[in-house]
Chain A
């Protein structure tokens, strides 16, 4: 039930945009997005729930397509601080466990 993330890695210049995709073979109730820097704990970015609206947080936003069982994370005008590995965690119910993807490594160069 592990979701599939794409791409595996992205290299950007400051100011460029990126999209990270998360796809599941199972029906989804929620999608959780995290960013993890090397050697540190994952940091929560946002949660999207079934029937909910697209979320936004500064220049980072996300969408959730329930029918396609997919979510996308949008990073606009990327900053150096955006570098890290992005994980999506998917949940099949209100009480269920999360399954995390293998991550997308994002590198932003000046």
Chain B
């Protein structure tokens, strides 16, 4: 069964450092999503891609976060510089098209010290 792949699974960094997360969606899925999930809360959308184009990045803190999906397949989410409040689970999801069922990857758990 096809799955969304993410790496790394865990990341510990110090504040002010740069971190990057990678996501490989299910093959053939045109839509890719990055979510942040704080402990005890539901996922919150950071950015949404349709192929290589950004559809919604209204909740992405653009002063420190960036995301790209250059060839419309895999994607990278970067934080620079990391802050203590960025500690969370970062989830990637993909769907065949916009508005369809989203399938989540295992996530990257980030701890900023």
Give me the interface of A with B, judged by CB distance under 8 Å.
2, 29-30, 32, 34, 39-44, 47, 87, 89, 91, 93-103
- Cα distance, A42 to B45, chains bound together (Å): 14
B101 adjacent to A42 (CB under 8 Å): no
What size tier do the contact residues of chain B reach? 20 to 34
- Cα distance, A103 to B41, chains bound together (Å): 7
- What 1/0 mask marks residues of chain B from 92 to 104 whose CB sits below 8 Å from any chain A CB? 0000001101111
Q: Which residues of B78-110 have CB atoms within 8 Å of chain A's CB atoms?
A: 91, 98-99, 101-107, 109
A-B contacts, 15 listed (Cβ < 8 Å): A2-B42, A30-B99, A40-B106, A41-B4, A42-B43, A42-B104, A44-B101, A89-B42, A95-B99, A97-B56, A98-B45, A99-B45, A100-B42, A102-B41, A103-B41
B102 adjacent to A32 (CB under 8 Å): yes
**Chain B interface main SS type:** loop
The 6 A-B residue pairs with the shortest CB-CB distance, nearest first, are A100-B42, A41-B104, A95-B98, A94-B99, A42-B104, A87-B42
- Cα distance, A20 to B60, chains bound together (Å): 30
Give me the interface of B with A, judged by CB distance under 8 Å.
4, 40-45, 48, 55-56, 91, 98-99, 101-107, 109
Inter-chain contact count A-B, CB under 8 Å? 52
Q: Which residues of A contact B55 (CB under 8 A)?
A: 95
Q: Which residues of A contact B106 (CB under 8 A)?
A: 40-41
- Cα distance, A29 to B41, chains bound together (Å): 23
Q: Which residues of B contact A87 (CB under 8 A)?
A: 42-43
Q: Which of A39, A41, A99 contacts B105 (CB 8 A)?
A: A41
B101 adjacent to A102 (CB under 8 Å): no
